[in-house]
Amino acid sequence: MKKVIVLGCTGSIGASTMEIIADFPEDFSVVALSAHSHEQALLALKEQHPQARLVLTGTEDAREGMDYLGKEGLLRMLEETEADMVVNGISGAAGLLPSIKSLETEKDLALANKETIVTGGDLIFSLAEKYNRTVLPVDSEHSALFHLLMGRKPETVSELILTASGGPFIDMPFEEQRKVTPAQALKHPNWDMGAKISIDSATLANKGLEVIEAWKLFHLPLEKISVLVHRQSLVHSLIRTADNALYGQFSAPDMKLPIQNALFYPELRPVKAAYTDLCGPSLTFEKPDLVRFPMLALAYRAAEKGGPAPIVYNGSNEVAVAAFLKGRIGFTQISRVTAALLEEKWPDPQDTLEGIETVDRLVRERAEAFMGAEL
């Protein structure tokens, strides 16, 4: 039986993870669970997993039934709880520290939190090596690439192609996007996800983060990583090998497949996910429009700049998206914040946690100031 900790168990990824675990009671034992604000939902999960330690990260005030509280409590739980694997389904840069602590306490890491790789990828891989642990991507495209690349020599791979559904505004000119409301942007055509990633899918910042994530995860030059819009979300990514053959991973748009593959790794189990019928809609592939979706072009710019730039990309976008959701800035202003901040000077994080946290904090302060003064 694998002992599993699920971080962010009340979110979209977390809920899918809990459903899979419920489907395989013989294989997994849940030893701890965390949520940020949904206290009742967390307590309800304790009924199915009575042995699980509970962490509520959003408060420091004592709460009935909670074993640990706050950000520090989460780290302490990871230190004090023995487990084989941590599923990190926390949203945003808040996921980085728990990812680091999971590896330092010798647990494998099933990583949905892409911000961990974007902001701290190099540090994460050095820790995984040091503690001899595995980092398994849960993001559907990266899970697809991970499986497609298995057993291949890097020099035989000439291109990684990330697919993007294009989100709800794929056909909407940039000018028209100015009027987009949070409610419109939250409605994704193919996937049901948390609020932040849904907005990122509408601006294509999600694909931008995924380009940086793939670049850091698979250690291939940036020129070998490309994006194609594939509206049907059936092909989750492709690789091109040196002989110009393409290999792709096809499955229904359901996060349960990559989550289950990470949970069972290195095994592959039959899954209850929908059967993929290729005789359905025609599959189409298009080049993304970088003028209509500046966040995608800015991600390449951030990766090219390297050093602190991916942290700047991630942090400025996170602040801008939160402001958009509160109605403080417009949809097309999200990319203006990132575009401006990427061209500013930032300290080199030098792949240390302290360095990363310093850049992240400075970026957030500057993003707030920029929105106040310029937008």
Binding site for ligand NDP (CB under 6 A): 8-14, 35-38, 57, 89-91, 94-95, 112-115, 139, 191, 193-195, 197, 255
Using CB distances below 5 to 8 A depending on partner kind, what does residue 208 bind out of ligand NDP, Mg ion, none?
none
Is residue 200 involved in binding Mg ion (CB under 5 A)? no
Tell me if 27 sits within 8 A of 264, measured CB to CB.
yes
**What string of DSSP letters covers 235-294?**
EEEEEEETTS-EEEEE--S-THHHHHHHHHTT------SPPP-TTSSPP--B---TTT-H
Specify the residue, 113 or 251, whose C-beta has the smaller distance to ligand NDP: 113
Q: Tokens 């940020």 correspond to what residue?
A: 36
The least distance separating ligand NDP from the CB of residue 158, rounded to whole angstroms, comes to 26
Q: Which long-range contacts (CB under 8 A, 24 or more apart) does 123-132 make?
A: 123/351, 123/352, 123/353, 123/356, 124/99, 124/100, 125/216, 126/351, 127/100, 127/103, 128/103, 130/103, 131/103, 131/104, 131/106, 132/106
Q: In the complex, which residue's CB is closest to Mg ion?
A: 139
Contact of residue 37 among Mg ion, ligand NDP, none (CB under 5-8 Å per partner type):
ligand NDP
112 contact choice in ligand NDP, Mg ion, none (CB below 5 to 8 Å, kind-dependent) = ligand NDP
Contact 301, 352 (CB under 8 A): no
From the list ligand NDP, Mg ion, none, which binds 13 (C-beta under 5 to 8 Å, kind-based)?
A: ligand NDP
Distance of CA 247 to the CA centre of its chain: 23
Q: How many residues bind Mg ion (CB under 5 A)?
A: 3
Q: Name which of 65 and 372 has its Cβ closer to ligand NDP.
A: 65
Give bridge partners of residue 241 from the DSSP assignment.
Answer: 157
Q: Is 11 helix (H, G, I), strand (E, B) or coil?
A: coil
Q: Residue 178 or residue 272: which is nearer to ligand NDP going by CB?
A: 272
User: Of the two residues 121 and 158, which places its CB atom closer to ligand NDP in the complex?
Assistant: 121
Q: Nearest approach, Cβ of 71 to ligand NDP (angstroms)? A: 7
Contacts (Cβ under 8 Å, ≥6 apart) of 320: 329, 333, 334, 337, 338, 367, 371
Q: How far apart are CA 290 and CA 204, in angstroms?
A: 10
Contact 209, 200 (CB under 8 A): yes
**Partner touching 225 among Mg ion, ligand NDP, none, CB below 5 to 8 Å by kind:** none
CB 118 to Mg ion: min, Å: 12
What spatial distance separates the first Cα and last Cα of the chain, rounded to whole Å? 53
Of residues 84 through 143, those in contact with Mg ion by CB under 5 A are 139-141
In terms of CB distance, is 89 or 308 closer to ligand NDP? 89
CB of 303: closest distance to Mg ion in angstroms?
Answer: 17
Residue 144 binds which one of ligand NDP, Mg ion, none, with CB within 5 to 8 A depending on kind?
A: none
Q: Which does 114 bind (CB under 5 to 8 A by kind): Mg ion, ligand NDP, none?
A: ligand NDP
Contact 253, 167 (CB under 8 A): no
Q: State the nearest-atom distance from the C-beta of 253 to ligand NDP, in Å.
A: 9
Comparison of 13 and 362: residue with beta carbon closer to ligand NDP = 13
Site string for Mg ion, 140-169 (x = CB under 5 A): xx----------------------------
Q: Could you tell me which residues come within 8 angstroms of residue 226 by beta carbon, excluding any fewer than 6 positions away?
A: 159, 160, 161, 162
With CB under 5 to 8 Å by kind, the binding choice for 10 among ligand NDP, Mg ion, none is ligand NDP
Closest to ligand NDP by CB, 118 or 157: 118
Q: Which does 94 bind (CB under 5 to 8 A by kind): ligand NDP, Mg ion, none?
A: ligand NDP
| Degrees, nearest 5: CA angle 367-370-371 | 85
Question: Whose Cβ is closer to ligand NDP: residue 131's or residue 191's?
Answer: 191
Q: How far is the CB of 242 from ligand NDP (least distance, A)?
A: 29
- DSSP designation for 359: H
What's the CA angle centered on 116, arms 111 and 120, to 5 degrees?
135
Residues that bind Mg ion (CB under 5 A): 139-141
